[in-house]
Chains A and B, each alone.
Chain A
Amino acid sequence: MTSGARSHLPGAGVLGANAFLDALPHGRLAENVLHFVRVLRVAGLPLGPAKVQDALAAVEAVGIAERSDFREALATVLVSRHEHLPIFEQAFDLYWRNPRLLEKMLAALLPKVRGPGGHSEEELPARLAQAMLPAPVRTRHAEGEETELDATLSFSAREVLQKKDFATMSVEELAEAKALLRRMQLPLPDRPVRRTRASPRGHAIDLRATLRQSVGANASITPLRYRARRRRPPPLVVLCDISGSMDRYARMLLHFLHAITNDRHRVHALTFGTRLTNVTRHLRHRDVDVALARVAGAVDDWSGGTRIGACLEEFNRKWSRRLLGQNAVVLLISDGLDADAGEGLAFEAERLAKSCSRLVWLNPLLRYAGFEARPAGIRAILPHVDDFLPVHNLDSLTSLALALAGDRAAPRASLARAA
């Protein structure tokens, strides 16, 4: 591909600098590296301007004689997360192998690319295609060439899944929610950590502070200074059921997830129905509407079936070791109605309970005192939860806040009764 064809890339103005280009030592190669970094940036890799210089330095150090070295040099500088590696590799293959092939691929991809936006694994080529050629351009070649490439095939296999449309939150609602969430307390007491802070009621003597004080003051008697353990809230992982049976609560739960993700450090949010999706990154957006729109785009299985066992298994395998360090608490929000009729669920629930410090189950279904835990899914999970919050009415944020902050005097008792 000629550099001219790439000049309409988005982000071409990020470095703002043809002057910068001129200053680069390698002419064409430098220019191509620069464009490559832009492509990756648009594809979602967090790459600042300094990375271009780093990449060039790396390429200069390694040389371009060996293709694999060149590739690894760029990867070392430009990739900083394992999950970005596939994007990088595909981009690298597309970009540095055969520029003309790339052009054709993109032309073939374009009609599909305009479809659903999102970040799931299957869509990586789409993201790349968007990054490399975001605006629809007229294909100069006729259909004859299009049939030679089966790039479109990789997308036709994708399930057609329901998307959720979220109404925006009214100003009053937002204000009310904020006020409530400020008062809302999760039933998660702070834990002592190994870090200490100065405290007059501490138990460990703070020698450093004591000595400094003794040197500075004029008294011959030096009072001892003390330190105490710091306390901080434990990391929280929220697993939120968004299947059909939970549909009526979904909107409110997402507001809750957004509020809690932005309110505290160390919160991870995952949604599950028939598949597990980590939505933490999407929820980190300050504006609630933008955040929820992003989640809606990222999650594929709105209001579908529930496969709790399979989703918990996926969590246990793929995420638990990454998210459940440092005494994490898991908040499971689900009605426990499982399409697989509890198949393998007890085992996975037990494993989940064993790998976190506390498993809290928030269930909107168990709201009647005389409710019997008939469904297999509920019976499978119940024995393994530490805290059980039957929520009477989950339709509003108010009631959720009340439920979480409310009287939890006898969770074990209600649990025993329900089981």
Chain B
Amino acid sequence: MAPSAQVPASVDQTLALLTGQDYVADRRLATAVFLALKLSRPLFLEGEAGVGKTEIAKVLAAGLQRPLVRLQCYEGLDTAAAVYEWNYPRQMIEIRLAEAAGNIERTELAHDIFTTRFLLRRPLLQALSPEEGGATVLLIDELDRTDEPFEAYLLEVLSDYQVTIPELGTIRSETPPIVVITSNRTREIHDAIKRRCLYHWVDYPDAARELEIVRRKCPNAAESLAREVVAFTQRLRALDLFKSPGIAETLDWAEALVALDRITLDPQTVADTLGALLKYQDDVGAITPDVAARLVREAQAETAKA
């Protein structure tokens, strides 16, 4: 494994690190990331879907050359799926072998089959005990999807970077992982979790930053198209929609327009491709041909001015 890259020593270096991985962050986010690294605290990122929360963990892992361990949360996530599980088939074979060999010493056997040899490491344990040394980047994605019992379990992990396995004892991480937690806020996460973390609300980007993101992530789009796409999306977010499009949607849409060989917006194309931006029928319905035409006109006027 390559030696881990240096942890940035200032906000500017953090910004450079993120930019180097094609992540166009604003300074506030860079400050939050820098502090999380510097103070060794988990970073709790909340925000609407599709604003690039998960991406931060991936970019950090790539930029710092550390392995990324990802734990996708879902309802009913338990320790067997998140932390560890015993390898039961192997344990059973071990017991059978011992029986066949005829040397069954019960207590010894119990001691033997509950060792690390029979342990299956799930994401949290992997993150806390990296096999080749060097801290990992642990991404706990969409924590709001799981239920309260799992949150409570996370408290031990996040405050002391340790997990307790009854049969083995406590496993503690020598170098704490860089922890990134994301939430779409489909419910409130308990304050006890948040208190242990540094909190950052990831907002929609402003026009300049979004344009920069489109340029980097969708280099095939013509400059005029990129500007119009961004101007259009920014206007769409100002409307009273049920779900405003995130950056992920902007990029999808730009890709879609490139695939259709468009170099500029027109109302018909917008109507045909709106599904890439808006995912609720009410929202799609709210963008009538008139509204679409007006938004396109405004976007193009703004682009022409720039």
Contacts and interface: CB of A to CB of B under 8 A. Distances in A.
29 contacts: A46-B195, A69-B31, A72-B31, A79-B199, A80-B191, A80-B194, A81-B188, A81-B199, A82-B46, A82-B185, A85-B201, A193-B76, A193-B147, A194-B74, A194-B76, A195-B76, A195-B78, A195-B147, A196-B78, A211-B86, A211-B91, A211-B113, A214-B95, A215-B106, A265-B148, A322-B188, A323-B187, A325-B144, A326-B147
Nearest to A84: B199
B28 A68 contact: yes
B39 A58 contact: yes
Interface in A55-106: 57-58, 61-62, 66, 68-69, 72-73, 75-77, 79-82, 85
For chain A, the bracket of interface size reads 35 or more
Contacts of B194: 80-81
Contacts of B74: 194
Contacts of B22: none
Contacts of B6: none
A317 interface: yes
A216 B39 CA distance: 46
B27 A321 contact: no
Given A193-B76, A218-B106, A208 B35 contact: no
A269 to B, nearest CB: 14
Contact of B35 (A61, A215, A218): A61
Contact of B195 (A48, A57, A62, A208): A48
| Residue in A218, A316, A322 whose Cβ sees the most chain B Cβ within 10 Å | A322
Interface in B125-150: 144-145, 147-149
Interface in B171-192: 185-188, 191
Interface of A: 46, 48, 54, 57-58, 61-62, 66, 68-69, 72-73, 75-77, 79-82, 85, 193-196, 207-208, 211, 214-216, 218, 265, 316-317, 321-323, 325-326, 351
A46 B192 CA distance: 11
A44 to B, nearest CB: 13
B232 interface: no
Contacts of A208: 86, 88
A48 B194 CA distance: 13
B109 interface: yes
Given A215-B109, A322-B188, A325-B186, A194 B75 contact: yes
B96 to A, nearest CB: 11
Given A61-B39, A72-B31, 15 more contacts: A62-B11, A62-B34, A68-B27, A76-B31, A76-B32, A77-B198, A80-B197, A82-B46, A82-B201, A85-B201, A194-B76, A195-B76, A196-B78, A326-B147, A351-B282
B92 interface: yes
B262 interface: no
Given A72-B32, A76-B199, A207 B191 contact: no
Contacts of A82: 46, 185, 201
Interface of B: 11, 27-28, 31-32, 34-35, 38-39, 44, 46, 74-76, 78, 86, 88, 91-92, 95, 106, 109-110, 113, 144-145, 147-149, 185-188, 191, 194-195, 197-201, 240, 242, 282
A79 B195 CA distance: 9
A207 B11 CA distance: 50
Given A76-B199, A194-B75, A326-B187, A61 B34 contact: yes
A76 B198 contact: yes
B106 A216 contact: yes
A54 to B, nearest CB: 7
A207 B120 CA distance: 14
